[in-house]
Amino acid sequence: MGRVDGKVIIVTGGATGIGLGISTVLAKEGASVVIAGRSAARGAAAEQAIREAGGEALYVRTDITCEDDCRALVTRAVERYGKLTGMVNNAGIFPRATLEDTTSELWDEIFATNLKGVFFCCKHAVPEMRKHGAGSIVNIGSANSYIGLPHLFAYSVAKGGLITLTRNLANALAPDRVRVNFVNPGWVITEMEIEIQAKEGHDAAWIEEAGRRMPLGRHQVPDDAAYACLYLLSDEANQVSGDILNVDGRGLR
Ligand SMILES: NC(=O)c1ccc[n+]([C@@H]2O[C@H](COP(=O)([O-])OP(=O)(O)OC[C@H]3O[C@@H](n4cnc5c(N)ncnc54)[C@H](O)[C@@H]3O)[C@@H](O)[C@H]2O)c1
């Protein structure tokens, strides 16, 4: 028996990095996983890898900044699997910019993906969860949600807003037995993060040493966040809502 047997779970940005880790673990534990993302090539590769490992997955091309795409994503998931029980709002972008470097366009782009896209996905997923009689939503946050680094200004503010979105919906949707939680993945060295660090002049050796200096002695990996999501999406967590689960290896903060 898998820990999420019989569940149908959408993972946005589920074909790369942390999202791919989440999709893979959920499928291994018995869920039908609907991978939502913009790149058909990466989506198809993730779907195939999960199927070859014996899991169930479906890729649906989705740009979460477009409400029609989010509506169609939910419709497709329900057409294919008959219900929707969970959603992981993982898709996000994290370009670096301080207050003064942040143009109006960059602010809008960051908010459209990291906050408005989550709003669209929740808006269209919740009615299906209500029909099913229960649901679980996990929003992927960041250590930057609380205060944030100066060069991640708009990103930090958007992820901070995501905490309020999480708590507001947890409260509003409790009577529908739809739980909403927040997972903070820490510092995960995904392909995107390696690219960004390279632009800041940080090579592999620098990244490795920075990991060794972290309180628990290493960076986080996609599976760290994936197993936190697995718990929150499973019935093991059916009395947990409105919570923040920090998976950032930092100890007390
Ligand atoms: N890597 C880290 O250290 C770290 C730390 C804390 C939080 N996070 C968060 O984890 C999540 C995943 O990040 P990652 O490091 O795996 O990076 P990533 O770039 O590999 O993953 C992000 C995914 O979101 C997708 N995406 C972006 N915009 C989209 C859109 N408009 N519509 C659909 N999909 C879209 C991307 O194509 C990609 O597949 C993000 O929300 C990020 O903010 C990452």
Distances (CA, A) of 142 to 148, 195, 212, 232, 249: 9, 18, 20, 17, 13
Beta bridge partners of 240: none
Tell me the three state secondary structure of residue 67.
helix
- Residue type at position 54: G
Nearest to 94 by CA among 185, 175, 213: 185
Enumerate the domain spans of the chain: 8-185+225-246, 187-219
Per-residue pLDDT reduced to its tens digit, 13-59: 999 999 999 999 999 999 999 999 999 999 999 999 999 999 999 99
Q: For the chain, give the percent of residues with pLDDT over 70.
A: 99
Instruction: Identify the residues whose C-beta falls under 6 Å from ligand 1.
Output: 12-13, 15-19, 37-38, 62-65, 90-94, 113, 117, 140, 142, 185, 187-188, 190-193
| Sheet (strand 244-246) strand order | 56-61, 32-37, 8-12, 86-89, 135-140, 178-184, 244-246
- Residue from 35, 190, 248 whose mutation best tests the ligand 1 pocket (most atoms within 8 A of CB): 190
Name the residues annotated as catalytic. Answer: 155
pLDDT band at 251, cuts 50/70/90? confident
Residue type, 200: E
pLDDT category, 253, cuts 50, 70, 90? low
Which CATH number applies to 8-185+225-246?
Answer: 3.40.50.720
Ligand 1 center to residue 215 CA distance, Å?
24
pLDDT tier at 250, thresholds 50, 70, 90: confident
